[in-house]
Chain A
């Protein structure tokens, strides 16, 4: 780890002020940041411990729920209201990492976790995300984990998390404190970025901005499912994951909020997929058309070509389970 100046935030404004320079970073749970600092993928000169800020409450928010940015993943997943009203979120969190990591990782930090691309985490390899202009090792190399949707010439990394995929299906909102006491709310679906020509940018946070909470809208009717396909049965990142909230009324699909992990530089949400399903009677032909919509722009990079059929089939499995179609 590179040497750094360690500061403790005394308040939000103080934290914002300390983290304005691009050489400073906030640390919460630290489970991803310290991992990357040991590899010197991240080399902050100032590390600002924001744990003294509290922000760990999980509380009612109108008819919805407000999840403090510093609430741990575990506290969120086991919260009675999350379990009863937003089970897709509990399921997504519990499908990720290990109990030890979830006990330390925070909600805000989870949104900011960085890609698992092997070339990003190896500082002796080219990576446009880590070192702009150095090239993309994965495109010429091993792209096993990599994206098939919304990729760019610059970067084919995926967003690795599970929680944000569920939040995307739930249409959650990210509460952000900006320097100078201002704040803003960004829908989760707009929070993460595609790589485009700025692959170093994972999300819309500006310097000095700190996530304070995630807000969930009022609970909705419907079956909630989080399905994660991985290469071992636990403690592995997703090859493909699907978060789904699906409701059926008299044999017709009346809600289909879907988001996908493992496919893109951000949790993938495409309203066209839900639109295709709404008002229809569930069957495999319909699920296939929904997959057509999802994968219309999909592109494999050799090693990850399998994700295209895998995403199609996982979506079918989830929709069949959600709608009770015979397996």
Chain B
């Protein structure tokens, strides 16, 4: 039995609030916590399969061209080498998120330096890795592949906003800002490198992999291998971080699968850290022009945001830099345009909060300049520019907590105490200052299925191929089911990350919890209906708590047979057309900038966020902390560097690509400004995972200016850039 819902309307009954178990929203510890802290949770590469071979990818040493010959015989002569896989099915790139089809093939066609071209398979990892360094490969090179996103012609993307006359608004504005910002590329750098173990039994392929979206990935792998989906099983029970990099299937998975099918033995492929950097998605660098035209009161009359990003030829993904600029602030004269330069660097794709992660820091830096020009406090300036409806398409906001986040955040942070002029506070070598920025991130939901089984022993099982990439899905899934069915949390088992289960929404775009949560909610509603039928009661008035009905009957006693299984099936409806749905928030940061060296440390940071219902206050807060930590990296340390001659990623390891370390991250405070968003999902929850980094870097950058007087138009704000901009 399936309970369907296509959500065309707001859902205002807030059913989760009417239940009695009292676990929804509570700061419960993760149900998978003990497995993770004791090292007993299995990640992709950690399933013990007998007779398993080890594969290591071989990558291209040219930027563009074709592999014409691979010296397989010489490789097979090396110690332990079993095979060289150079099948046309091997992928040249990883799949983009939600592609649902194979990524670019064959691997022999080279489009960027470092692209996988073959797989060496050997008895041991050391043998395979050694042989991978010595594979003889001949190429036909194509010279002149464009590498520089700033000099190649760019393609304008569809969907530009052109309203009124921005140029005219700029000339008649009392105050205006026209500033260009750059951001460098970023890497997801999930701690678990991409890995897969493939096992072919002659009929069916089982792949243990590190993936975010099994619901799409199974179709991608099926397409890549030309194999029916029902002959593939993907398992991703634990995923060591994704941040966009594991949205689509990657070269490790396809090559391990091809090898296992060809050799009849299990094959494990674990990418080296360098290969992950060089062959998985990068976040595109951006160049962004911001134009803000304001009247005397600081109200925007014109808003311009134009951005240039890059990607390989043939890739559909373009970093959606303008996503939140579309609706965050008013201004009747609007121009928003995004263009893509086609260059031959590794594929650009989703890295945590694609679009807003880099668009918001540029916009919010420009807003800081506008605040200074108008003489209006930056918090007040933002409050004055919150629109009542979408400024271009006119749709209403489903809920909107920006004002609350700004004002509550300012109060909690002590914003009003700080001088708003730069170079006012000094402690020894350090200038100290504060900054603010708004947060905004579009909310999405996705089709989702989940099965909930209520068993006669009074336990329930939740099953979906949805993944938990560290977001806390196991725990919130259990909380929703426990709340709806009136069960203690330890009577709910959650089984995720296996395509043997119903298709979930996948983890990405911050839509996981609200989408799969809605499917679980629907299934549980169905189960409540069955329980109500047994009692001759009506579902809505059914009171379930502590595993019992209101008259004390154990819930399991009402269940017949081996148990009742109901599938919840949630589909987004017309809400997306009729409403503007987004999460909002505000960041406040205090930094210190060394007046000699330009080194910057974040002293403290606060984020206030409104994203609908909080399903688990502990894991929700952790998601926000994670986003704020990424904001620090984006503001200060993270930058991909590409060689100008062949386009290869130069700093392709964790020593030279600087993700923040413990010491970079101070105490961060999180305010959860809770609300119910009836449009966002039937459980009134919105996305959380990305909002925490949509603008945070600007709070830090604006604080750098407030501290040191260095107005910088490039992220990250390294000592080099700060020294270059600091007044003497």
Contact = CB atoms under 8 A, between A and B. Distances in A.
Interface string B62-88: 000000000000000001000000000
A231 B429 contact: no
B658 A142 contact: no
B645 interface: yes
Nearest to A38: B129
A242 to B, nearest CB: 10
B656 A310 contact: no
Given A231-B658, A231-B718, A327-B428, A314 B650 contact: no
Interface in B287-322: none
A6 interface: no
Interface string A292-315: 000000000000001001100110
Contacts of A140: 644-645
Interface in B596-623: 596-599, 601
Given A141-B645, A327-B428, A118 B656 contact: yes
Contact of B643 (A141, A240, A316, A327): A141
B724 A306 contact: yes
A137 interface: yes
B645 A313 contact: no
B724 A116 contact: no
Interface string A160-191: 00000000000000000000000000000000
Contacts, number: 94
A229 B599 contact: yes
Which of B129, B597, B658 has the most chain A CB atoms inside 10 A of its CB? B597
Contacts of B719: 229, 231, 239, 306, 310
Given A3-B130, A236-B658, A237-B655, A317 B597 contact: yes
Contacts of A316: 596
B622 to A, nearest CB: 22
Contact of B61 (A124, A137, A230): A124
Contacts of B720: 239, 306, 310
B722 to A, nearest CB: 10
A4 B720 CA distance: 43
Q: How large is the interface on B (under 10, 10 to 19, 20 to 34, 35 or more residues)?
A: 35 or more
A144 interface: yes
B130 A1 contact: yes
A232 B644 contact: no
Contacts of B133: 2, 40, 123
B723 A232 contact: no
A308 to B, nearest CB: 10
B589 interface: no
B636 interface: yes
Contact of B601 (A233, A237, A309, A314): A233
A152 interface: no
Contacts of A122: 648, 652
Contacts of A240: 597
A327 B426 CA distance: 10
A233 B644 contact: no
Interface string A224-268: 000001111111110110000000000000000000000000000
Nearest to A160: B655
Contacts of A310: 597-598, 719-720, 723
Contacts of B61: 124
A234 B723 contact: no
Nearest to A305: B720
A234 B644 contact: no
A317 B719 CA distance: 14
Nearest to A118: B650
A103 interface: no
Given A118-B650, A232-B661, A3 B79 contact: yes
Taking chain A's interface residues, is the majority helix, strand, or loop, or is none over half, making it mixed? Answer: loop
A51 interface: no
B364 to A, nearest CB: 23
A319 to B, nearest CB: 10
A230 B597 CA distance: 10
Given A137-B643, A229-B599, A235 B661 contact: yes
Contacts of A3: 79, 126, 130
Interface residues of A, number: 36
Contacts of A123: 133
A142 B723 contact: no
Contacts of B664: 232-234
A240 B723 CA distance: 14
Contact of B661 (A142, A233, A313): A233
A125 B114 CA distance: 11
Nearest to B654: A235
A62 to B, nearest CB: 38
Interface string B629-666: 00000001100011111001011100110101111100
B641 A313 contact: no
A306 B636 CA distance: 16
Contacts of B661: 232-235
Given A40-B133, A141-B643, A232-B636, A314 B597 contact: yes
B663 A233 contact: yes
A142 B650 contact: yes
B644 A141 contact: yes
Contacts of B596: 313-314, 316-317
A196 B658 CA distance: 31
B126 A142 contact: no
A144 B648 contact: no
Interface in B519-570: none
Contacts of A235: 661, 663
A152 B179 CA distance: 40
Nearest to A121: B653
A232 B655 contact: no
B597 A313 contact: yes
A3 B61 CA distance: 24
Contacts of B663: 232-235
Contacts of A38: 129
A124 B139 CA distance: 15
B599 A306 contact: no
A229 B596 CA distance: 10
A314 B598 CA distance: 10
Contacts of A2: 130, 133
A9 to B, nearest CB: 23
A232 B658 contact: yes
A93 B720 CA distance: 25
A314 B642 CA distance: 28
Which of B595, B636, B652, B656 has the most chain A CB atoms inside 10 A of its CB? B656
B651 to A, nearest CB: 6
A141 B645 CA distance: 7
A179 B656 CA distance: 38
B130 A229 contact: no
B214 to A, nearest CB: 32
Contacts of B718: 231
A150 B660 CA distance: 32
A239 B720 CA distance: 10
Contacts of B129: 1, 38
Which of B636, B655, B718 has the most chain A CB atoms inside 10 A of its CB? B655
Q: Which 7 A-B pairs have the closest CB atoms?
A: A317-B596, A306-B720, A233-B663, A234-B663, A141-B643, A142-B650, A313-B596
Given A116-B656, A232-B660, A239-B719, 13 more contacts: A140-B644, A140-B645, A141-B650, A144-B641, A231-B637, A232-B663, A233-B661, A235-B663, A236-B655, A236-B658, A306-B719, A310-B719, A313-B723
24 contacts: A1-B126, A2-B130, A3-B126, A40-B133, A118-B652, A122-B652, A140-B644, A142-B644, A142-B651, A145-B656, A229-B597, A231-B637, A231-B718, A232-B658, A233-B661, A234-B662, A234-B663, A239-B719, A306-B719, A310-B597, A314-B597, A316-B596, A317-B429, A317-B596
Interface of B: 61, 79, 126, 129-130, 133, 428-429, 594-599, 601, 636-637, 641-645, 648, 650-652, 655-656, 658, 660-664, 718-720, 723-724
Interface of A: 1-3, 38, 40, 116, 118, 122-125, 137, 140-142, 144-145, 229-237, 239-240, 306, 309-310, 313-314, 316-317, 327
